[in-house]
Structures are given as C-alpha cells and as structure tokens.
A and B are shown apart, each in its own frame.
Chain A
Amino acid sequence: MGNHPVQDLKATRIKGGVHAPERHDSAHKHVSGTAIYIDDMPEPAGTLHAGLGLAGVAHGIIKSMDLSAVRSAPGVVAVLTAKDIPGTNDISPSGMNDDPILADGKVEFHGQPIFCVIAETRAQARRAARLAKVEYEELPGVFDIRDLDFDSHPQVFPPLTLKRGEATEAIAQAPRRVKGRMLLGGQDHFYLEGQVSMAVPGEDDEVTVYCSTQGPSETQHMVAHALGIASHAVTVEVRRMGGGFGGKETQANQWAVLAAIAAKKLGRPVKIRLDRDEDMAATGKRHDFAIDYEVGFDEEGRILGVDYIFALRAGFSADLSGPVGDRALFHCDNAYFFPHVHAKSALLKTNTVSNTAFRGFGGPQGMVGAERVIEEVAFAVGKDPLEIRKLNFYDPMGSDGGRNLTPYHQKVEDCIIQQIVAELEERADYAGRRREIAAFNANSRVIKRGIALTPVKFGISFTKTESNQAGALVHIYADGSVHMNHGGTEMGQGLHLKVAQVVAEELQIDLDRVRITATTTGKVPNTSPTAASSGADLNGMAAQDAARQIKKRLIDFAAEKYGVPKEQVVFLPNRVRVGNQEIPFNEIVRQAYVARVQLSAAGFYKTPKIHWDRSAGKGHAFYYFAYGAACSEVSVDTLTGEYVLERTDILHDVGRSLNPAIDQGQVEGGFIQGAGWLTTEELVWDEKGRLRTHAPSTYKIPLASDRPKIFNVALTDWSQAYEPTIHRSKAVGEPPLPLGISVLHALSDAVASVADHKICPRLDAPATPERVLMAIERLKAESGR
C-alpha cells in the first residue's frame, strides 16, 4: 500500500481481484505488532479505567452493598451502580428486558456485574473492586439442565416446534426404533483479545465508543438506550477485533455501555478491558444441550421418522437463545431427509451466565443431534455409519425423488453432498483405511483406532429476515484512489479484504488502490452484526452496488465527453477504453471530478427470496446451503482414554471462492475449533454455580500439537453458488466448524471397537479422555469383556 503505487496500464488482469488468493490486508501489521486493536490505541489525556465488581453468589437478593472502601481506595474517581444508569438498565437484544447492565437488587448468576469502579489506572480499579462488602440473601440456583423437566421448567423465550408429517406414528409403525439422549457441552469463544471498549465523551450528549464489537449498530443503539439519548449522538467504531466467533455480537455491548456511561458522567475518556477470568465468568458462551431423540427406521437403515427435543442451557436471560434454539432445529436434519419429523426446542432458564452466539449459532448442536441418530441407526442395523449417511441424504441437485423437503418445509434445491462425499471417500481412501484399522485393532490390545466421515449442510441467511440487509460507502478521490467502507466488521476472517477485492474487480483497479477503513456507524447506518457467515455475502453485494453506481456515472460521463456510445466505454485493468483510446483510470476520475461528477456512492443490498414464519414453523429460511465433509482418524488409549488425531481429510464447498487462501484458513480454523469444542474444551460449573474453567489454565482449546498429524484440506473446485450470490461464492465463516464432528465420531468408532462394533458408544461431548475411558468401560461391561 505504497503512497505512489504504479499501476500497470497494460495488464490483462488486475492485481487482487475476486478469486485471487490475496494475503490478509493486515498480515504485515499482525506480524510486526503494528495492527492496532482497541487497547493499543493511544489513550486521550485524562483517560480513566474501569474495573468490575462481580457477584459472589449465583442467585440471590443483594441485602446490602457497602462500597465505602471501594470509593476511598487509591485512584478511585467514581463507582457506578444500577442507579447511575441515566437511561434504561437493560441490554437485552431480543426485547425481553431481562439483561441488566448492572444487577439491580437481584443477582442471577455467579460473576454478574453488580458495580463498576472508575479509577486513574486499571490496576487501581481492579484492586478497589475487591474491597466491596456485599451481603446476599442466597436463593436456590439451577446450574444444570440434565434433570430439569423440559415442559414445566421456566424458559427464557418461547420455544419453537418444527413439524412435517406424523413423526409419532411413523416411528411407532417403523420396523425398528431407538430412543436415547445425548449430552453436548458448551464452548467458550476464547477470542485472544478479550472484551474491550474505550468511550470518549463529545459535545452535548455525544459520545464515541471504540469497541471490539461484531455489531457496531447494535452497540450504538444499546449505548443510546442506556444513556437515554438518541442514536445519532452515539458513534461506534471498530477497525478490527482480535477474534470474535459470535462472542462479540451481543456480549460486547455491556462493556461499551459502561464505558460510555462513565465517560459521560465524568467528562473524561474511559476504557474498560476485562481480565480473561472476568471475561470468561461474565460473558456468554456456546449453549450446552441435552438432546432427546427417538428414531424409527427400516431394516436397511433408512430413516422413517424422527422426534427430537433440543433442550439448551439459556442462562439467566434470553439474549439470543431463542434464535440459537431455532437454528439447532433448522440443522437437526444435517444433510438427511426425514420423511416424518417433529422437533422442538426448550430454552431453559438457569442461574448461569446467559449463553449467546457462537460460530454456527446452534446449527452445529443440531447437526451433532442428527449424527447421533445416524450412528444409532447404523449400530442397530449393523452397518458402517457412512452407509447409513449416504442412504439418507437429500436428493442431489437436479433430481427430485421427493426427498428434498426440510423439517421447516423449505425445498433443498442445491444439494451437492453426494458428490462431495464420494470425492472425499476417494481422496481419503476411506474403505482401504477402514480395513487397515480393523486389522490393526484386531492385533492391538490397548490402542484402538477409529475413523469417521461426516457431512455438513449449513443454511445461509439470518433467520431474522430484517438482518439480511447491508450498506456500503465507496468514495473515489480525485487522484483515483478509493476509500471503501461497509457495515461488516473485521475479526480476522478477511472480510475487509474480500469486499475490497469485490470493489477492485468492479472498478478494474489494483487492490492496493482500495483503502480499507474502520467500520463506523457514522458512515454506514443500521447495519447487521457480522454474524451468520453473512459478512461477505451481504457487504460484498452492497459494496459492489456502490461501486457500480459510480462506475455508471463514469461511463455516462466518458460517453458524453468523448462522444461514444456507452457500450464503447469499457473498464480494463487500471484503465478505461473509450472508443479507440485507453485512458488511465486515475485520469478518467480526474476528468470526472473536474466535470463535477459525484464520485461517492452508498450501496445497499437485501437478500432476495427468504422468508420465515416462526409461528407456523415454515418458510424459505435460507437463501442457499453450504456443504462440506470431513474424514478423521484417531488412536485411542483404552487404558486412559487419551487419544491422538492421526489424520483428517476435508473437502469443503465455498462456491466460487472470493479468496481461496482466506477460505482455506477459515476451513482449517473452523474444523479445529469444532474439534476442540467436541474434545478437550470442557466447561465445568461447581455446586455453587461458579465456573471452574475460567482461564486457559483450566479451559483447554486446541494447540498446534492437537491438530491432525496429517491434515489435507481442499476446497471444491467445481462448485458455484446455485443462487446469484456475490461472484457465485458461498459463505464460509460457520459451515466448516461442524466438520469437527468427524473427530467425535472417529473417537466413537474407536470406542465401539472394544465391543466389536455391536454397541453404540453413545459418546457424549466434549469427549475428554475421561468421557472416552468411561464409554470404553461401559462397553466392556455391557459386552462382558
């Protein structure tokens, strides 16, 4: 990104257009430590720092709160409690008014913020926060969903039911039936950069908040709401996050709001950065689930009917638990056609932190439920689970055998899972390795190997229809350089780069002519959070729209000025052919400026076709589906339950990739994150409702040495989006995460070998060495070995 880049005016292709494997725009800054995150910004003079007072009980009434020692501690400037909130003490994203910024009288989970200390330094604020004397009247708490009655226990949001056909009857009449329950753990986001915000007070009621947020517009509205002011007084900006994964969608708001309240109250900038332990205790996570299932099937293993209850731990408030439960149901079929299906969610209120969005948003949990059902059927009929998978797939694209309706009555029109699985079976030599593994296991007493190939079908769109819109702002300056802005946020996924590639392609200029800028509510309003894998789909389209508007003006201008038909104005790499002459892009722009052509445009996009009627449980919920499959092999120690991930092969569909290098990184990283969720990442609450795994010393995300020893990842080179998405690419943020399910099933396969593959291991997740060993012990006992 030099100051005087030289453009190649003879090039046949621009540098860095769409489909090019460009490096992340900030890579050179990441490696040199010069990429600026919120905590790295130079603080304005006089900046104060916040520390949090967190509840010491999981459920109770605050009888008294003596903050005198806090107030008189060194460096303390102010202490905020619920009564210091000028507007509304609520940041519920779902309109349930159940998410206080600071607990007011009642505490609903251990670690809930009850007050906020503002001091000259962060260390002073943190130390002072410990000096509070708080007395509680403790109330009984609910910390576990396993033993709850799903029908009568309070729910945080109305649950959803999906129904197609008559599942109960179909199951009752099926030749074979299995019923069971799976327990599936949650997951902490563990973004490397914890929650952080810095609020700078402005004139009148204005405030600017620099916040590590995936949803600047929502943060803006929450700040306005809490301050009791209009949104136009609040600007929220974020250049980049140090990871998000859904954990900075709604969970960033509380800290932005506290910083803003303090900044306005004190008239000084205020920064709040959570310590890792506070972050893990006080912010929501991926929901853990109890999945009850009953399936009816025939002797071949063809599923005839399925009945599900997906019960999730919502935590103390609704947050996004309703839509997360919805998405679990939307994915309870994974890639399989269920002739009759009934599925309902239970969004159980507990006295734990309110669970939230996490990459996949309930979808992966739904798919885990689908794969458990497949596994049960496979063990019941004595077949390789992969055979059962293939037997139950949706009809492939272009053929309509009547097996293409989802439980929410959307027709699957773009199914390519057969081709992906067939190709992956070949690449991974599934059949050959299954034979080798059987031979190995027959001769190995202690170490057992297992293999599994699992598919992914992931629905793309926000199910909240209004979220499927985006805006962008493109300026071309008189020197021909381009400033690009859109509503999406950068959390490492390369979104800004992809959108810049789209703009570069549209204007036919080298990528380094397009400047990437911080996301700010002041440039593009009313944006959706960067979530649901939608970033490039929505913002790419909006930016393309903006670029096209300016391009059209340039064409009109050039046609008129040079007296040629518009069709004879053609954008070539870094230049424009006008009739018989080629004019450098920069020159055309300069001429257009002189001729007073508007060189700025706001672009907009809304996803077509989609609709969703929640009360009916019907609709075209997703614009399209993304597909993929993974084959994993593990070795398991049957004495300790320890294991090693030997090999994983992945084939994943991103349509026509906007940037294959970026997409490959998303697939690799998503798989490992999914594998971590299902193996070593275990959240443990104690009998007091305290999270015991609140730091990396106790909460174990994968390391480099946990990735597969052999890791072959490929993108489908033949696929393209069925719908006219941006350059026929497909979303890539979430779909790769459930590829990690292959690891859980490979472990299960290894466990099953101790009972000669006769008993379904029913391995719950996370499959820690302990759970693996206990499953082995159970199978040994049941098989009498």
Chain B
Amino acid sequence: MAQPVRREIRFILNGETVTLPDVKPDELLLDFLRLRRSLRGSKEGCAEGDCGACTVLVGRLTGGELVYESVNACIRFLGSLDGCHVVTVEHLRGENGGLHPVQQALVDFHGSQCGFCTPGFVMSLYVLWMREPSPSDARIEKALQGNLCRCTGYESIMRAARAISSYGEAGRDLLAKERTDIAARLAALKDGARVEIGSGKNRLIVPASVDDFAEIYAAEPAATVVAGSTDVGLSVTKQMRDISPVIFIGGLEELQTITEHQDGIRIGAGVSYTQARDFLAARVPALGALVDRIGGEQVRNMGTIGGNIANGSPIGDTPPPLIALGASVTLRHGNVRRCIPLEDFFIAYGKQDRAPGEFVESVHVPLPAPDAHFAVHKISKRRDEDITAALGAFNVQVREGRVAAARIAYGGMAATPKRARAVEQALIGQPWTEETIVAAQAAYATDYTPLTDMRATAEYRLLAAKNLLLRFYLETTSAAKPFRVKRYEEA
C-alpha cells in the first residue's frame, strides 16, 4: 500500500491551527515566530540552545497523553513540529486577563533587570509550575539549567519561582483548561501521512513511521537525519550548512520506547534524555544523575540518547557509561538489522561503523551486576549545562576483596569514547585497595593521550581522570564521607 503523503505541515500555534505548505528544510522555529509571525517575545541570545532566551513550550501527544516541554526555538526546526502545539510567551495570561502567575511573581520579586532573558525564564518556570507547583530549590535550579541571566545573579528569580503558587493554581491555568480541546485538535491532525515538502535541494520529509523512515533513508542515504536537532540545529545556525534533504524523526513514537528486559534495558534511539531520566534513575541512579548534567532542560527535552551515540562525538556523555555497562547498539538499514557492541561502533574521530542509509535504532544496556560498583563522574568547567572535559564511567565487581571484573570507559580522553583497557587489566585480579588503585593509575598513560583544548589541558585531563578512579574507589569504601562536592544531596 502506498504511503499517503501530505505536502504541508500542521500544528497549533498558541490558539491557532497553522497549515504551512512553504517550510524550508532548515527553517527554524524562532525565525518563523519572529520574522513570519511577528511574535517577538521570544529572543535570540545565542542561536545554539544554550542561553534559553528563545524558550517556548512544545506540546505533543505521546502515548495518547498531551505533554508540554520547554524547547529552544532557536535550534528547533519548524518542519519537526508537525502535529505539535507551540506555546509562546504571548499566549500567557492570568485568570483575570492580566499577567500570568509566573509573570506576576517575577515582577513582584524583581526577577528581571534588562529583561531580555526574561521571556525564556517565564517559559521554563511555567512548565515547571504546571508539573510541580511547589518545587524545591534543587528542582528550580534544574529547570533553569538552560536559562542564562547576566543581570540578576538569579536570586530574585529563585524568590519568584518559590512564590509562583501563591499567585495562582496550576489547575486553573489556561493550558490546563484548554487541555482536552488541544489534545483533541492534535489528535485530529494525526492522519498517518508522511509529510514531504519541497523538491531537489530544498526538501524536507517527516516519515509516517519507523518503517517509512527506514525506507526513505535507505533510498536517500545522503539525507540529514534530525531527531532532537540539538546538534544539527547548530550546523545550520553557526556553519550555515545545507542539510537538505532532511528527515525529521523526532515525532516517531515507535523510536521513543524504553523497556526493561531480563538481560537489561532497551532504549529506543528516539528516547529523549528527559524521557529516559526517571526510568534510568530508578534502575541505575548514577545514570539519572548524569542525565541531569547534560545540557539544560530544553536540550534534554529535545536531544536523544540515540543521537548522542549516532553523532559519534568523543565528548558525548552517554557512550562511556553505556560502554562500561557493555551496551550494544542495533543498526538498521531498510529492513536489515545488525547488532554490535557499542564500543565497536566508534571507529575513529568522525568515523563510526554505520553504512550509508543505516541508522541507530536502539541501544541495549545490561544493568550493572547486583554486586557491581557502578559510577559515572563528569568533569566540566561549570557544573551544569557544560560540555565534558573528562568523563569516567566505572563498572567494577569485587569478590572476596579482589577485583573480579572491570569495565572502565572515558569520554574526552581520546578521539572516541574509549575503554581504559590497561587500567582494567591493572585492576583485575588485584585486591581492592588503595595500593592497587595507585598502581593502576600509572596505566592511564597507556590508555590515553588526551588533547589540550579550551575545556582543559592534556595534563589536567590525565590527572583528573586518574583521580576519578581514586574517587570511585574511596566511595566504595565509605558511604558516609564526602568524596566529591555536591550542591544538593542527589534525589
């Protein structure tokens, strides 16, 4: 049966249903809002998903439920919004038509100075308040990891954030009231069609299903595949790269399943960091804590674990722990699948074991053995929303005082995420003591020759990487003593 094709994208913008037959493959949501709709409340501060001045909400039906998430409009492609509800700051208002509770709290607590970042803060706090009307400071800070303010020092914004619920009830909010209506309207937009707009060098495709995607990509292996756009978005805003033809797979729910099996968990390639977070945290707390330090909330809502693997970056945060856990990745070309160890997927800088037209479909992750010590330690210049300088993942089993098994992998230390095989060998069979750790630290020079760049020098990377092994060891010896700085006790 031929796949029905639609030649326009359809979504809801604030209250209005928008139908667009003229969407460029690299057209960004922020440009659409500001230039084509003159909705200029959302600002461009960085055009790379870091500062959050462009934050808007995107509502989508997932598993039949309408979920709103904050996103960076500056790197979110317009074509990826088919079937979504886009909510901008212009949509907010209070019950009496005045300011919304989030807005009024920010005004009353002096939460804006120059005001340029403020609409973004409003949107981030808005989505937090909808979900958690009385958040802890830790939760507020997490919700604001993707919003930079250069004026206030944040304290006044925190005061406002704590007070929002005294200004209004989330249940009486506009989006809550409209919820049934919007959900119905979004459901009505879902027609099961593939979207194809444009032709030749100016073409975008939104596949109708994973099978549809597999077929399209096999036929057009030169196409750019975009899931969360947290990486490709920058190649457009910064390098002005031509990404056509582009395939937007962010809406494919089939790729967004995360499931537990006897031998581990299976993460669909389209699962966002946010979707994975609680699931992972419940099973492997160290992974939950790691996810909280990837990007800001907006990036976590868009970025996917599959994308973090597929782009092959040596400083992606998820591959080292997944490698340490012995994960394997399923690649698919058309209807042909193959499964390889994740560590083998990364061949060299910029080179992965992925054939043209082949895509990462899922990753299978064995859980740590019950007696294993598992930890992930990320080092960056700034604790939150920063790119890794060095990240170590440790999966060590100690039996009768000796190291029975060890899988250790690092990011930021080589041209790919890489196992510390010499270190592992120096540990295996040895007593689990500080002497062993000190001896094993000498093996790092065999495993890694890191680079110096703007994030860290080679010297620091190597030293810190070694010391992370010691920290890992020390934490297995005593749970009570602090061996790392913490802002809050991890939830």
- What residues of chain A have their CB less than 8 Å away from a CB belonging to chain B? 23-24, 26-37, 39-40, 42, 123, 126-127, 130, 189-194, 240-245, 275-277, 444-447, 491-494, 635-637, 639-644, 661-662, 664-665, 668-673, 680, 682, 684, 686, 692-693, 695-698, 700-707, 709, 711, 713, 768-770, 773-774, 777
Stretch at the interface among B185-193, B404-412, B449-457: B449-457
A445 near B112 with CB under 8 A, answer no
Q: How far is the CA of A672 from the CA of B157 in the complex (A)?
A: 13
Contact string against A for B residues 9-44, beta-carbon threshold 8 Å, 1 for contact and 0 otherwise: 000000000000000000000010000001011111
Query: For residue B42, which residues in chain A have a CB less than 8 angstroms away from its CB?
Result: 33
Q: How far is the CA of A29 from the CA of B43 in the complex (A)?
A: 14
**Given A492-B115, A770-B456; A32-B110 close (CB under 8 Å):** no
B110 near A643 with CB under 8 A, answer no
- In the assembled complex, 6 residue pairs joining A and B whose CB atoms fall closer than 8 Å, in A order, are A33-B40, A276-B46, A492-B151, A641-B460, A668-B153, A703-B148
Query: For residue B122, which residues in chain A have a CB less than 8 angstroms away from its CB?
Result: 31, 33
Q: How far is the CA of A684 from the CA of B381 in the complex (A)?
A: 13
**Given A276-B48, A492-B114; A698-B150 close (CB under 8 Å):** no
B99 near A28 with CB under 8 A, answer yes
B154 near A644 with CB under 8 A, answer no
**Given A130-B240, A276-B46; A191-B92 close (CB under 8 Å):** no
Query: For residue A27, which residues in chain B have a CB less than 8 angstroms away from its CB?
Result: 106-107, 110, 112, 115
B136 smallest CB distance to A (angstroms): 12
The number of A-B residue pairs with CB atoms under 8 Å apart is 275
Name the residue of chain B whose CB is nearest to the CB of A27.
Answer: B107
Query: For residue B381, which residues in chain A have a CB less than 8 angstroms away from its CB?
Result: 680, 682, 700, 768-770
**Given A446-B483, A698-B454, A769-B381; A31-B106 close (CB under 8 Å):** yes
**Given A37-B43, A642-B379, A696-B50; A191-B460 close (CB under 8 Å):** no
Query: For residue A768, which residues in chain B have a CB less than 8 angstroms away from its CB?
Result: 381
A352 smallest CB distance to B (angstroms): 15
A771 smallest CB distance to B (angstroms): 9
Q: How far is the CA of A39 from the CA of B47 in the complex (A)?
A: 14
Contact string against A for B residues 410-444, beta-carbon threshold 8 Å, 1 for contact and 0 otherwise: 00000000000000000000000000000000000
**Given A695-B48, A774-B460; A664-B384 close (CB under 8 Å):** no
A32 near B89 with CB under 8 A, answer yes
State which of A33, A40, A696, A705 has its C-beta within 8 Å of the C-beta of B145: A705
B131 at the interface (CB under 8 A from A): no
Given contacts A192-B43, A446-B481, A639-B467, 17 further A-B contacts (CB under 8 A): A31-B118, A243-B114, A276-B45, A447-B484, A491-B114, A639-B484, A640-B379, A664-B156, A668-B154, A672-B154, A680-B381, A701-B148, A702-B154, A703-B154, A704-B157, A770-B456, A773-B460
- Interface SS of chain B: loop
Query: For residue B149, which residues in chain A have a CB less than 8 angstroms away from its CB?
Result: 192, 704
B457 near A493 with CB under 8 A, answer no
Name the interface size band of chain B: 35 or more
B116 near A242 with CB under 8 A, answer yes
| 5 closest A-B pairs by CB | A33-B41, A492-B114, A242-B116, A30-B115, A672-B153
B103 at the interface (CB under 8 A from A): yes
Stretch at the interface among B173-181, B271-279, B343-351, B468-476: B468-476
Query: For residue B481, which residues in chain A have a CB less than 8 angstroms away from its CB?
Result: 444-446
State which of A29, A643, A770, A777 has its C-beta within 8 Å of the C-beta of B485: A643
Q: How far is the CA of A684 from the CA of B386 in the complex (A)?
A: 16
B382 at the interface (CB under 8 A from A): yes
Interface residues of B in 111-158 (CB under 8 A from A): 111-119, 122, 140-142, 144-145, 147-158
Query: For residue A244, which residues in chain B have a CB less than 8 angstroms away from its CB?
Result: 114
**Given A697-B387, A703-B382; A639-B150 close (CB under 8 Å):** no
Q: How far is the CA of A706 from the CA of B485 in the complex (A)?
A: 13
A192 near B53 with CB under 8 A, answer yes
B464 at the interface (CB under 8 A from A): yes
B107 near A23 with CB under 8 A, answer yes
A243 near B46 with CB under 8 A, answer no
Name the residue of chain A whose CB is nearest to the CB of B461.
Answer: A770
B261 at the interface (CB under 8 A from A): no
**Given A33-B119, A684-B454; A705-B383 close (CB under 8 Å):** yes
Query: For residue B119, which residues in chain A have a CB less than 8 angstroms away from its CB?
Result: 30-33
B486 at the interface (CB under 8 A from A): yes
B40 near A640 with CB under 8 A, answer no
B370 at the interface (CB under 8 A from A): no
B340 at the interface (CB under 8 A from A): no
Name the residue of chain B whose CB is nearest to the CB of A661.
Answer: B110
Query: For residue B155, which residues in chain A have a CB less than 8 angstroms away from its CB?
Result: 668, 707, 711, 713
A705 near B485 with CB under 8 A, answer no
A627 smallest CB distance to B (angstroms): 19
Query: For residue A28, which residues in chain B have a CB less than 8 angstroms away from its CB?
Result: 99, 103, 107
A644 near B487 with CB under 8 A, answer yes
Query: For residue A671, which residues in chain B have a CB less than 8 angstroms away from its CB?
Result: 153
Name the residue of chain A whose CB is nearest to the CB of B379.
Answer: A640
Query: For residue A668, which residues in chain B have a CB less than 8 angstroms away from its CB?
Result: 152-156
B238 at the interface (CB under 8 A from A): yes
**Given A700-B381, A703-B382, A773-B463; A24-B110 close (CB under 8 Å):** yes
A494 near B145 with CB under 8 A, answer no
B45 near A770 with CB under 8 A, answer no
B51 at the interface (CB under 8 A from A): yes
B115 near A639 with CB under 8 A, answer no
Query: For residue A672, which residues in chain B have a CB less than 8 angstroms away from its CB?
Result: 153-154
B485 near A635 with CB under 8 A, answer yes
A723 smallest CB distance to B (angstroms): 27
A30 near B152 with CB under 8 A, answer no
Name the residue of chain B whose CB is nearest to the CB of A491.
Answer: B114
B150 near A636 with CB under 8 A, answer no
State which of A37, A242, A641, A706 has its C-beta within 8 Å of the C-beta of B382: A706
